[in-house]
């Protein structure tokens, strides 16, 4: 089952790329209307994206062939694992954000998610 899940994460890059462009296009249209569901989806997708990326990075060897593992240096494997983590974090984050934003729009059609803006400002002021 681990191999199947890692394979799904590995081959679903195109879903993340489509979701990334879809979220950017959807954000411009929705922000003009005063609807912040794409921003809510992006904020809510942080945790599942990290879980997906950590799981993929831990099981990184399952997506590699034995020849690559044997002939590549441990330092290169480590750096490739970090890049794979970042790629999976960004692309799965976009896919999770698109899914959560879509479900938020479908489940709560009259909600504009205006509370997300003060929440993001408070997080920004907390870190800065």
Give the tens place of pLDDT for each residue, 42-100: 899 999 999 999 999 999 888 888 887 888 888 888 999 999 999 999 999 999 999 99
Q: Under a CB-based contact definition with an 8 Å cutoff, are residues 2 and 63 in contact?
A: no
Residue 103 pLDDT:
92
Q: Give the chain's radius of gyration (CA, Å).
A: 18
The DSSP code for 62 is: G
Give the tens place of pLDDT for each residue, 10-44: 888 888 889 888 888 877 788 888 888 888 898 99
Residue 126 has pLDDT above 80, yes or no: yes
Q: Under a CB-based contact definition with an 8 Å cutoff, are residues 94 and 20 in contact?
A: yes
- Distance between start and end Cα atoms, the chain: 43
- Averaged pLDDT, 104-123: 86
Give CA–CA dist 34/93, Å, rounded.
23
| pTM across the whole model | 0.84
Closest CA to 34 of 99, 126, 117, 100: 117
């Amino acid at each position: 089952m681990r191999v199947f899940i890692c394979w799904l994460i590995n081959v679903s890059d195109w879903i993340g790329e489509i979701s990334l462009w879809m979220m950017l296009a959807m954000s411009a249209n929705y922000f003009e209307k005063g609807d912040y569901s794409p921003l809510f989806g992006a904020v809510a997708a942080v945790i599942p994206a990290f879980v997906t990326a950590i799981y993929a990075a831990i099981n990184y060897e399952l997506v590699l062939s034995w020849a690559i593992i044997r002939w590549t240096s441990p330092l290169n494997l480590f750096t490739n694992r970090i890049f794979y983590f970042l790629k999976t974090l960004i692309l799965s984050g976009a896919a999770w954000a698109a899914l959560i934003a879509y479900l938020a729009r479908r489940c709560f059609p009259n909600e504009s998610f205006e509370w997300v803006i003060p929440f993001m400002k408070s997080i920004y002021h907390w870190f800065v």
